[in-house]
Chain A
Amino acid sequence: MQPLTMREAYGQALVALGESNPDVVVLDADVSKSSRSTLFGERFPERFFNVGIAESNMMSVAAGLAASGKIPFVNSFSFLLTLRAGEQLRTGIAYPRLNVKVAGAYCGLSDSFDGPTHQDPMDLAVMRAMPNMTVISVSDSIQAKKVVAAAAAWPGPVYFRLNRNALPEVSTEDSPFEIGKAIWHRRGADVTLIATGIMVHRALEAARLLETDGLKAGVLEVHTIKPIDTEAVMSAARETGAIVTAEEHNIYGGLGGAVAELLVEHGPVPMERVGIRDTFAESGDYEALLAKYGLTSQAVVDAARKVMRRK
């Protein structure tokens, strides 16, 4: 069975959350059919606010709702939430630690055909630099549902990025999910692949490829980019002495940046980053873009070989 698109899973999770929590309200800025927040709107029209194409207004409206005891989930494309409405988010929500959940749709290159105007290789960097913000990058549709519930239960502002498409599943209904706690998919001896989002699956493939050459690669999934699981990252560094990070994001400021900062402060080991190399991409088929911009399992394998040579 083809997995649900992540956005569809997200929309369904919003509805489920709305059933159990009457304080949950949902906002969208005229992209509810794309973000799939429309599912909540159909079920709970009185708790759904489509403000029109006006993201900045939406963000501050959410601040007001949160200041009045509601739990707003704010929806649009990630670049609009983090950048156009980014100042409203910073000053109006992050600063006063308001309980707003920001759902960044169409993350990374996943809105592939719409092109660079709609793609977003920089949301993690922007959100990570914002004090009080919890930052999550979702890896599959099953996890998306857990993230919605966990974000609602987490006090204060949360940003989570969601892929537009159906991704291969890397978790099951039973796998645990806890904000701030990285997930070990396999332990390694030679290198650890630290991945997030769509790159978790690709890192797992890379680990299997490396295994055929007798190399033991660990795979650590870091879904919470902030607060990052320092303990898990540093134990990976100690265990294997070499790290590769992999993310559908600019190599600057995202997971790679966060891990590099930890390593440098707590115990440097060689590290390589797989990510978008500080460029805007282009329109095209999603898989083709991922390949062209270096987000493949082979790219992870190559980075792993390179980092092991540096040990």
Chain B
Amino acid sequence: MVSRRVECSKQLAAIAAKLRVDVMEMVFRVQTGHLGGSLSAAEILTTLYYHQLNVDPNNPDWPDRDRFVLGKGHAAPALYVVLADLGFFPREELKSLRQINCMLQGHPDMRKTPGVEMSTGSLGHGLSAAIGMALAARLDGKHYHVWALLGDGELDEGQIWEAAAYASFSGLTNLTAIVDFNRVQLDGPTDCILCMDPVADKWRSFGWNVVEADGHCVDSLLKAYEEALAVTERTGKPSVILAHTVKGKGVSFMEGQAAWHGGVPNAQQYEQAMKELTQQLELRGDCGCSR
């Protein structure tokens, strides 16, 4: 069962806008955590968790649930906001992000946090772990689907390409990868550190279908999910969605800036950021459909 599958794209967009506000609040409060990559993944995570994934917050270990692996584990704040909002754990926990004796670790911990499927944070593991889950589904005759969200900097890791080769070689049709394609890594723009272009061609040559999407447009993402699943079904090859995004999306002075990969705002910057994010929330507003 999907906990509350949201069909209305305006509503999904509003949820993503609210997620940004929550992430900003949460990271500012504790003055630690990765904003850039959390903000860029807002629509991706929203469309997955509120529309696409078959998960049950009341039964996080339900054997038939879809699996989601956050390869770019440093976007944990965004994942935590989603999981709390869906009811995997109390929202109160968000206040103690990264604090001693608390549930929400700096990077996702599958033993401490309900809803987290894999402990990640060291880049490059996620896609391989997702392959393992997809292989297990095949062995068990289960029909769940496995999704992995990767950073575009994360694609630098050799392990990603070991995994890419193995997934297509294994003909995995129950696995979809999404790349948060924001063109920025930790030290700077991917163009200046390690440019992996042409990324789509690389995936294709590794035996994957490639679907491109606007990673901040809910409709574009929903369409991409559908298309990815359909083309995988047709071709017997896994699909990757290149979701074109902006790192730090939603906060004018953070957008596209590597400095905000792990940077944390001071009080003045926070005020400005919250002004912009709440404005966007109001704009996206209430679409009138009931959740």
Contacts and interface: CB of A to CB of B under 8 A. Distances in A.
Interface string A41-85: 000000000111110110000000000000000000001100010
B248 to A, nearest CB: 16
Interface residues on B, range: 20 to 34
Interface stretch (A17-25, A113-121, A180-188, A225-233): A113-121
A308 B20 CA distance: 57
Contacts of A31: 186-187
Interface in B48-66: none
A28 B156 CA distance: 13
A170 B156 CA distance: 40
A28 B188 CA distance: 13
Most buried by B among A28, A38, A57, A282: A282
B121 A53 contact: no
Interface string B241-280: 0000000000000000000001000000000000000000
Contacts of B262: 34
B182 to A, nearest CB: 14
Nearest to A284: B100
A53 B194 contact: yes
Contacts, number: 93
Interface stretch (B101-109, B134-142, B204-212, B223-231): B101-109
A142 B120 CA distance: 35
B186 A283 contact: no
Given A30-B153, A84-B122, A115-B105, A284 B99 contact: yes
B123 A53 contact: yes
A62 to B, nearest CB: 16
B194 A54 contact: yes
Contacts of B107: 114-115, 117-118
A113 B157 contact: no
A292 interface: yes
Contacts of B119: 117
Contacts of B120: 117
A311 interface: no
A126 interface: no
A282 to B, nearest CB: 6
Nearest to B195: A52
Interface in B78-137: 98-102, 104-107, 109, 119-124
Residues of B contacting A: mostly:
loop
Contacts of A114: 106-107, 121
B109 A115 contact: yes
Given A30-B185, A33-B187, A115-B109, A289 B100 contact: yes
A32 B258 CA distance: 12
B193 to A, nearest CB: 5
A285 interface: yes
A140 B1 CA distance: 55
Contacts of A79: 122
Contact of B187 (A50, A84, A118): A50
B288 interface: no
Contact of A53 (B73, B102, B105, B156): B156
A257 B216 CA distance: 53
A150 interface: no
Nearest to A114: B106
Contacts of B106: 113-115, 117-118, 283
B186 A57 contact: no
B48 to A, nearest CB: 22
Contacts of A292: 100-101
Contacts of B187: 28, 30-33, 38, 50
B156 A52 contact: yes
A30 B196 CA distance: 14
Contact of B185 (A52, A56, A288): A52
The 6 residue pairs across chains A and B that have the minimum distance between CB atoms: A52-B194, A284-B100, A117-B121, A115-B106, A52-B156, A53-B156
10 contacts: A31-B186, A31-B187, A51-B156, A53-B123, A56-B158, A117-B122, A118-B121, A283-B104, A289-B100, A292-B100
